[in-house]
Structure 1
Amino acid sequence: MFKKLFGKREKKEETLFAPLNGKVVDIEQVPDPTFSQKLMGEGIAIEPADGTVVSPVNGEIIQFFHTKHAIGIRSETGLEILIHVGLETVMLNGEGFTGHVQVGDKVKVGDRLITFDLEVIKEKAASSITPIVITNMDAVQSIEKFPVTHAKARMDQLMHIMIKK
């Protein structure tokens, strides 16, 4: 009866949880201008302590690069988030990466998305730093970044995003 009278209530905010364990770095400090100059969107980065990426939100996988180095998720609120493991990791052509989801899969916070060999990334890529960016910034009203210096995957909140109505 309540839904009938008032309609479906839409969530207008989202909390991004840490998708990796590791040191949190300002996006402006990422040594790649595509990320540091926010050309892809606002975000944060993590210097990974291990090789597991988990979902930072409840949502759906909307993009998964064939090289398994980057993945796109659309949250239940419509935010689109890109997690890009390392810099210039596309050149590895999938070496050291294992995907655990496919495009179209529904995911919950903490679901395993990608595992990777951190030593391979450190040895063969430009950097292991992993940007996490919101790619549809036109949907964002405001972002509050939490003062986390060392993230614990699934547990620590990194950003609180207010979504435009």
Structure 2
Amino acid sequence: MFDFLKKKTETWMLGAPVKGRAVPLQEVNDPTFSDGLLGKGVAVIPSEGKVYAPTDGEIAMVFETLHAVSMNADFGAEILIHVGLDTVSMKGEGFKGHVKAGDRVKKGDLLLEMDLDKIKEAGYDTITPMLICNTDAYADVEGLAGKEVAPGDDVLEIKKK
């Protein structure tokens, strides 16, 4: 009856950066991610080798080895997308970049490509965490895991403080 008196919490949804199965960060076999040391988020076990922008924003950094990209969302979130575990050791082999630092991107723009078979053959896990590195700036960051996702499907809800 008095819904108009309830304070509405501003929320943002990030899309899946890759096609695959969304899982909680706790399932990532690396404590840097699973223990939330870099921030809260979600991970996707990819079934396709393309990484897309989860929201509108600006590319902050593309790692030289092309295994990770960071971006600043237009609403302020600092996002890290990390392809696989220990894939930095591949020194860019099997990865192709489509953006550079300073590029403006829209949700769904192609950021990176990766050869999932080459990553697996090299002995690395392809799981792809997406983290909010400035988690403390938000009231809540919650991964929407346990489902198959296509690029752009809602996988991470961020609530304003």
TM-score (norm 1): 0.88
CA-CA distance at 1:148 after TM superposition: 4.9
Q: Distance in 1 between matches of 2:23 and 2:145?
A: 11
RMSD of aligned residue pairs (Cα, Å):
1.4
1:159 — aligned with what?
Answer: 156
1:110 — aligned with what?
Answer: 108
Return closer, same or farther for 1:58/1:157 CA change in 2, 3 Å cut-off: same
1:73 — aligned with what?
Answer: 71
Q: Is the 8 A contact 1:92 1:125 kept in 2?
A: no
Return closer, same or farther for 1:137/1:18 CA change in 2, 3 Å cut-off: same
1:113-124 mapped onto 2 (5 Å cutoff): 113-124=111-122
Q: Which stretches in structure 1 are left out of the alignment for 5+ residues?
A: 1-11
Q: Percent identity?
A: 44
SS of 1:14 mapped into structure 2: strand
SS of 2:96 mapped into structure 1: strand
Aligned length: 153
Q: Is the 8 A contact 2:65 2:88 kept in 1?
A: yes
Q: Is the 8 A contact 1:100 1:112 kept in 2?
A: yes
Q: Distance in 2 between matches of 1:84 and 1:147?
A: 17
CA-CA distance at 1:144 after TM superposition: 3.8
CA-CA distance at 1:125 after TM superposition: 4.1
2:94 is aligned, of 92, 96, 99, to: 96
Q: Which amino acid aligns with 1:163?
A: K
1:83 — aligned with what?
Answer: 81
2:26 — aligned with what?
Answer: 28
> Which stretch shifts more, 117-126 or 142-151?
142-151
